Chain A
Amino acid sequence: MNTLDFLMQGFSVAFQWQNILFAFAGVVIGTAVGVLPGIGPMNGVALLLPITASLTAGLNPENAAASALILLAGIYYGAMYGGSTTSILLNTPGESASVMTTLDGYQMAKNGRAGAALAISAIGSFVAGIIALVGLILLAKPLSRIAINFGPAEYFALMVLGLLAVSGLVGKSMTKAIIMMLSGLALGTIGIDAVSGSARFTFDIPVLYSGISFLTIAVGLFALGEVFKTVLENEKLDGRIIKINRVMPTKQDLKDSALPIARSSVLGFFIGVLPGAGATIASSFAYVMEKKISKDPSKFGKGAIEGVAAPETANNAAAGGALIPLLTLGIPGSGTTAIMMGALIMYNIQPGPLLFQNHPNVVWGLIASMFVGNLMLLILNMPLVKVFAKLIDTPIKYLMPLIIAFSVFGVYAVQFTTFDLMLLLVSGVLGYFLSKNDFPLPPLVLALVLGPMVENNMMRALTLSNGDYMIFLQKPVAAIFLIISALWIIIPLILKFRNKKL
């Protein structure tokens, strides 16, 4: 079968009634979650991950995985879109990726063009989604064909690169990011080792034998951590919400933003494909690029529609691009995709080059549903944007305890132990204090997901080489990955050193 046949098969999966329902629910819930104060895409996906597990419990594993992934992906880009709503109407970006949108978006809203700004970001997101989809279709096959020749040594090196790439790009201090990454890997070793079957760090405590649940940690760190932050720091949304008048953009608006949308989709997609570089970098690159290209750069920051179209398009294109390393190589490039990978593993489906061979329904179903989801997002958001904007007013008095209750429920419905509930609360408290002090959380979650696979591949490579560590340098591909990983750490250090001297 060629790619087109697979895509058609994917659409037949995406058009199953329950999957349309899941995509719809995902987009609606995601948008709502993105608009709600204090919850971004990563928190939203983490918070709702356990629920997807419960909802799909009745299906067979393959269908359940496809449906869960469709739902999560819907939540992901729904939340991205919701985040831009708050940036435009309230000057409060829901997550770092929509910071750039506030620059011109809020100005546009102040000038009475909130509707046009929201509409253009919906249109931009839609185009970005479609371009990312095309890129995914074109790139996924060749990439997974290369990756299929990888042995354990190459995989180990690739994962090391993926982990370091994410750790090197988030947060202010690389030391802290690497500490978080190592802690994640360390947490992953608790339990029964898959290779040898020996129990490690379990101290004869039965609940530890199955290992530390990724789901519990992710929900705790991201969802509860945010709640505790809001409760402790008494965050208030002070800005006045700007009324939306006309939703449809004018012809001139569309004309002005057509080219920026096209350029930013492509740029965002390729940035998204790189591990570690995610939506945040894509949106700021796109904004800066448009400002440079523009004939009249002075209008940026004063409500230029290009300044909304470009970053919004780029961050959605990057979200699509980020799925490529996840699906083809099994390496998530961001916190959110790490959570989605955790979801796949929960269904016993191993992301990576074999995914396209072994579970075509899951991959192509997801790819097709991205198209369906993007279309729904567009159709849904143009008329409903005013309704969603109302959610910004949700009082945190009710929201915060409800999120705690929801997290507890979600974790309990999957794990069924009091131990996991305690672990959830501990992760929440730690998540707050760590992220407040610039210890980035995504590397830990990513490492917890990848940990067992990193170790598995390392052990297999070492078994092949009879314990000779040089195997990682003798295989050329592995050596290249490891050299890039090393440079990733060394170059910033050199730059820092030189800056100090100057």
Chain B
Amino acid sequence: MNRTFDRYAGILFLAVAVFFVTESKSISTSSYGSTVGPNIFPLGLGILLGIMSIRLIYESFRYQYEENEYVKLEYKRFGILLAASVIYCLFLEDIGYAIATFLFLLIGFQTMKKGKILFSLLISATFSVGVFYIFNELLNIPLPSSSNWLGIL
């Protein structure tokens, strides 16, 4: 068990709980003359979540041992992949599905492991164009297109 993570997670969940309790005050307390309103459920959840978070924080102080299993994490690889994913998602609608996916996959493959660039190009192109074509043309589910700036896809 990771004492630090659990403690901060507990504090974070407690914050969410407090937020729920305070925010549910601004929800109406009654609907159509009923004695119970839509605020009751979130309020109750907030209170319960608060109690459990405090319990988690309390438990985290009582962990007997600090486990020191050291696993080398690939933060760089993960960071690049995550950043690429965020950019991919943010600009998917502007760039168009096929082009954005192609670029994302190419970067993704090369981030995971460098090399075999031709193979990477081939898979990226097949997947992005293939999915775009199948869903746009065959199944009539419109995906963002690049035709407004590229003319095709």
Contact string, B97-122, partner A, CB cutoff 8 A, digits 1/0?
Answer: 10001001100110111000000100
Q: In the complex, A176 Cα to B9 Cα: how many Å?
A: 10
A167-204 vs B, CB cutoff 8 Å, 1 = contact: the mask equals 00000110110110011011001000101111011000
Q: What is the chain A residue whose CB lies nearest that of B80?
A: A231
Residues of B within 8 A of A55 (CB): 139
Rounded to whole angstroms, the CA-CA distance of A197 and B73 in the bound complex is 47
Compute how far the CA of A179 lies from the CA of B89 in the bound complex, rounded to whole angstroms. Answer: 30
Q: Judge if A54 is at the interface, Cβ distance under 8 Å.
A: yes
B 56-76 contacts with A by CB, 8 A: 56, 59, 71-75
- Enumerate B13-59 residues with CB–CB distance to A below 8 Å: 13, 16, 20, 23-24, 27-28, 31-32, 34-38, 40-42, 45-46, 48-49, 52-53, 55-56, 59
- Across the interface, B28 reaches (CB within 8 A) one of A185, A198, A466, namely A198
Residues in A whose Cβ lies below 8 Å from that of B52:
175, 178-179, 182
| Contact of A437 with B38 in the complex, beta carbons under 8 Å | no
Knowing A404-B85, A408-B88, the reply to whether A54 touches B139 (Cβ < 8 A) is yes
Residue of A nearest to B20 (CB): A186
Cross-chain contact B78 with A200 (CB below 8 angstroms)? no
Cβ of B95 within 8 Å of any chain A Cβ, yes or no, is no
A459 within 8 A of B: yes
Picked from B2, B85, B105, the residue with its CB within 8 Å of the CB of A425 is B85
Question: Is A357 among interface residues, defined by CB-CB distance under 8 A?
Answer: no
- Please tell me if A396 contacts chain B, counting CB pairs below 8 Å: yes
* Chain A contacts for B55, CB-based, 8 A: 175
CB of A425 within 8 A of CB of B74, answer no
Q: Which residues of B contact A433 (CB under 8 A)?
A: 5
Q: Which residues of the partner chain B approach A238 to less than 8 Å between Cβ atoms?
A: none
Most B-side CB within 10 Å, residue of A54, A186, A434: A186
A491 within 8 A of B: no
Contacts of A462 in B (CB 8 A): 34-36, 40
B59 touches A57 (CB 8 A): no
| 389-421 of chain A: CB within 8 A of chain B | 395-398, 400-402, 404-405, 408-409, 412-413, 418, 421
Write the nearest CB–CB distance from A348 to chain B, whole angstroms: 19
B145 to A: closest C-beta gap in Å: 13
Contact call B85/A234, Cβ cutoff below 8 A: no
| B31 A438 Cβ-Cβ under 8 A | no
* Complex Cα–Cα for A421 and B88 (A): 10
Q: Are B2 and A437 within 8 A (Cβ)?
A: yes
Per-residue CB contact flags for chain A residues 406-448 toward chain B (1 = under 8 Å, else 0) read 0011001100001001101100010001100111000000000
Residue of A nearest to B120 (CB): A398
The one of B5, B59, B131 that contacts A175, using a Cβ cutoff of 8 Å: B59
Taking the nearest CB of chain B, how far is it from the CB of A429, in angstroms? 7
A474 within 8 A of B: no
Q: Smallest Cβ distance from A37 to chain B, in angstroms?
A: 13
The answer on a CB contact under 8 Å between A398 and B139 is no
Q: List 15 A-B residue pairs with CB atoms under 8 Å apart, sorted by A's residue number.
A: A186-B45, A200-B24, A200-B42, A228-B78, A232-B74, A401-B108, A405-B128, A408-B88, A413-B135, A421-B92, A429-B82, A437-B1, A439-B9, A458-B40, A459-B41
Further contacts, 18 of them, CB under 8 A, given A231-B74, A404-B104, A434-B9: A57-B141, A182-B48, A183-B16, A183-B49, A186-B46, A186-B49, A189-B45, A195-B38, A200-B38, A228-B82, A401-B104, A401-B109, A402-B105, A402-B123, A413-B141, A418-B90, A422-B89, A462-B34
